[in-house]
Amino acid sequence: MESLQKNDIEVLLNHSKTRKAIAAVNKEAKERKSFLPSKCQIFSEEFTSLQEQTQYVFADDRETGKILPDIINNNIQKVVKGLKNFEKEKKFFFKKRNIGVVFSGGPAPGGHNVIAGIFDAAKKANSESTIFGFLFGPDGIIESKYIELTREIIDDYRNIGGFTMIKTGRTKIDSREKMDLAQKTCKELNLDVLVIIGGDDSNTNAAFLAQEFKKIGIQVIGVPKTIDGDIQVQTEDGQVLCAISFGFHSAARAFSNNISNLCTDTGSDAKYWHICKVMGRVASHLALEAALQTHANLTLIGEELADYVDKERLENSETKGVIDYTAFGITLRHLSRVICDVIMRRAANGKNYGVMILPEGVLEFVNEIQLFIIKLNTIIGDYNHIHDIDFHEIFPNLNSKLDYLRKFARGISDKGTSPIWNSRDDELFNDLPEFFQKGLLVERDSHGNFQFSQIKTEKIIMDMVKSYLNVSKEKGTYKVGIENDYFINTLKQENLDPDVFKDVIFSEDSKNNQYLLVKKSIISKKTLKQALLKSNLIKEEEKVPKAIMQIFNKSVPKFKTQTYFYGYDGRGNDPTQFDCNYAYNLGLTAFSLIANGATGQMAAIKNLEYKFSNWEPIGIPIAKLIHIEERKGKLAHVIEKSIVDIDSNAFRVVKALREEWEGANPYKDQYRKPAPIHLKDNNEDDIPITLILNSIKC
Ligand code: FBP
């Protein structure tokens, strides 16, 4: 044992073992930084060109064409080998350029590799080129805050998660003033091109900037990032051009590793339901992937719930000769019943525990909540428009907001009447818990998106689940099944005849099962005693035998939960090998687009869902992805978010195996353990399962 002087903190801190043990960069992190992502074959060429691909057809874009006339006619461009005799193109390719890069929106693992790819390709083409990184997202462009990215800086962030190198932000360059300031910065830096690494809204912004900057000769290129996986591009006839954004795989794998550990915990301790909310502002892609990775007992997929039809309601209304529109789509009440059903069926098989995955955006697909969101968006949007001032500034707290809504309901608002918010809305809204009211009234983000991450979705849902479980407990329908052998052994220890007691305590239909269910009518010590008295198994003055009490107590469920929010942790996770390679090749693709004069294009890799050797770098015309949708109560031109397709293979597999994974049976749960995230070898987990399944043609 080495002797260390007590209290001599200096000695302890300087000890070689201490220094090694707590070093900021460990061996694995060093190895990660030096990992070389694989490059698509085409990038070993000296230089590349772009080949127009006119065979791909997109939806009607006349409306977008009116506002983005200079980029609406862009086509898909495939990165191909550069033609040696095309001297002019070659000269342009190798020219010295100033490139500005910016992260926009939430972090996603792999972002640093996109910049590393751009940096490597740009320096290879011309070592005198300069790469500027704008700080804190689009604010850095508006406020002219940037750093020059040197090789030393880049090397320090290769294959490392998050966006820490230059940070990120959610500001949208959407006003004349911000556009002018952005132009000023870019001109002062003498930029040739601006690369925006962002989600659907940031790429929409990139298209508008491309249109605006065309006249000053600055190219704008987008790169699809978001852990949510909701930027996916398909043509009108379903050809996949971009199967997923970078960051999705790493975040999904990080969440899945944690969720899988909880599956192990719940199967060990057998006392908790672990409730895991996973990010994904609207779309449930991350939840779907986590379900495939872990086989958790219950995963809600918002998109499926939206499709729900209450057949009973529909039939009832049809017999009356009317259509009940409320029968379409799921309500919060019904959703809680769906969850309770799984909990109760597992409990009946002795498993009063499990793991549940709730997508962050699930409420977006619940009827009454969706309606509230749309109505409130419109009211707030109208207020901002009429008063030219922000609603949240004027009504900063919940009470003032509610007061405004109440006035609206009474028709004494500035507009005089209120067709959107009537007294029924007011009543329903007032019935919601305060934290949820606050959540629904929370300020929309700069792109007009509802901020689901600010809402305790899991609390809203689980509160309803808990109250329904309590009702079910009182009704005697929520019980923990008692294993037959356990019952027999327990009774034998007290010399009681199991066969005699079985008939009295357990329900008829469970008597031959491995797990026995206490009769519905027995819900308390009192009702238990009554049942025994009625069957003459005990006398009035006698106590219920200890063994029977033990069995009864075991059958009474205690619903205990632990809740988790997996989101921010996954955004900061180090990228998987898939994301390292993907993001790096996106960077290389972005440079090919830049060096061939493209603008208004988004770098993408086609065939991501297949082997690496099939990956095909392309440019996608952003303007062609834009459609019109409601934001902040107004119609806006934005890239359409891809939500889970309930006809996709990935969803169909989850649906088909749902019962097996629920494990509402006496057998072992079918949990799956995903491999840990590391860069050493390729392993079978190194591609999103969603992509593998969706690529199967059958
Ligand atoms: P992006 O679309 O910008 O990639 O962000 C997605 C996301 O991670 C969502 O999953 C989540 O709802 C949201 O960001 C959280 O945003 P914030 O960082 O503002 O809390």
**DSSP string covering 314-369:** HHHHHHTTS--GGGBSB-HHHHHHHHHHHHHHHHHTT---EEEEEETTGGGGBHHH
Least confident of 153-157, 570-574, 627-631: 627-631
pLDDT beyond 70 at 414 = no
Hey, which of 4-8, 166-170, 309-313, 508-512 has the most confident mean pLDDT?
166-170
Residue 199 beta carbon below 6 angstroms from any ligand 1 atom:
yes
Rounded to whole angstroms, the Cα distance separating 638 from 628 reads 6
Helix (H) or strand (E) run with residue 265 in it: helix 248-269
Residue 674: closest CA among 326, 370, 291, 307? 291
The reply to whether the predicted model has a pTM over 0.85 is yes
| pLDDT band, residue 412 (cuts 50/70/90) | low
Q: How far is the CA of 228 from the centre of ligand 1 (A)?
A: 8
Token match 């342009």: residue? 92
pLDDT of residue 3: 54
Rounded to the nearest integer, the mean pLDDT of the chain is 92
Q: Report whether pLDDT(1) > 50.
A: no
Test site for ligand 1: of 102, 281, 643, most ligand atoms within 8 A of the Cβ? 281
279 within ligand 1 shell (Cβ under 6 A): yes
Relative orientation angle of helices 525-534 and 498-505, to the nearest 10 degrees: 120
pLDDT in tens, 448-489: 777 877 788 899 899 999 999 999 999 999 999 999 999 999
pLDDT in tens, 578-633: 999 999 999 999 999 999 999 999 999 999 999 999 999 999 999 999 998 877 66
586 vs 581: CA distance, rounded Å: 9
Can you give the pLDDT at residue 451? 81
pLDDT in tens, 641-650: 999 999 999 9
Q: Is 295 in the pocket of ligand 1 (CB under 6 A)?
A: no
Residue 410 has pLDDT above 80, yes or no: no
What are the distances in angstroms from CA 511 to CA 13, 402, 450, 524?
A: 66, 55, 51, 20
Pocket flag, ligand 1, residue 278 (CB < 6 Å): no
pLDDT for 62 beyond 60: yes
| Helix or strand holding residue 188 (H, E) | helix 176-188
Phi then psi dihedrals of residue 388, to 5 deg:
50, 40
State in Å: Cα 254 to ligand 1 middle. Answer: 16
Query: Which residue numbers are catalytic?
Result: 228
CA of 453 to the centre of ligand 1 (A): 7
> Is 141 within 8 Å of 134 (Cβ atoms)?
yes
Of 585 and 428, which is predicted with more confidence? 585
Lowest mean per-residue pLDDT among 199-213, 296-310, 552-566, 651-665: 296-310
Per-residue model confidence as pLDDT tens digits over 72-125: 999 999 999 997 777 888 999 999 999 999 999 999 999 999 999 999 999 999
> What is the mean pLDDT of the segment spanning 254-268?
97
Percentages helix, strand, coil for the chain (3-state, rounded to 5) are 45, 15, 40
- Whether the per-residue pLDDT at 562 is higher than 90: the answer is yes
Residue 7 has pLDDT above 90, yes or no: no
d(CA 684, CA 200): 29
Ligand 1 pocket: which of 223, 225, 227 to mutate (most atoms within 8 A of CB)? 227
What is the pLDDT at residue 88? 87
Q: For ligand 1, is residue 570 a contact (CB within 6 Å)?
A: no
> Of 147-151, 576-580, 674-678, 692-696, where does mean pLDDT reach its minimum?
674-678
- Cα 679 to ligand 1 centroid, rounded to whole Å: 26
Q: Is the CB of 280 under 6 A from ligand 1?
A: yes
Give the alpha-carbon dihedral of 571, 572, 577, 583, to 10 degrees.
70
CATH class of the 43-246+575-631 domain in this structure: alpha beta
Residue predicted with more confidence, 168 or 635: 168
* pLDDT for the residue numbered 6: 60
Bin 554: left if φ > 0, else alpha if -120 < ψ < 50, else beta. Answer: alpha
CA of 359 to the centre of ligand 1 (A): 13
- pLDDT (tens digit per residue) in 295-351: 999 999 999 998 888 788 788 888 888 877 777 788 888 899 999 999 999 999 999
The pLDDT value recorded for residue 157 is: 97
CA distance readout (Å), 303 to 97, 286, 291, 335, 447: 45, 12, 15, 13, 22
- % pLDDT > 90, the chain: 73
Determine the average pLDDT of the residues in 24-47: 92
- Residue entry with tokens 């132009």: 183
Number of C-beta neighbours around residue 464 at 10 A:
17
Beta bridge partners of residue 99, listed in sequence order: 131, 193
Is residue 453 lining ligand 1, measured as CB closer than 6 Å? Answer: yes
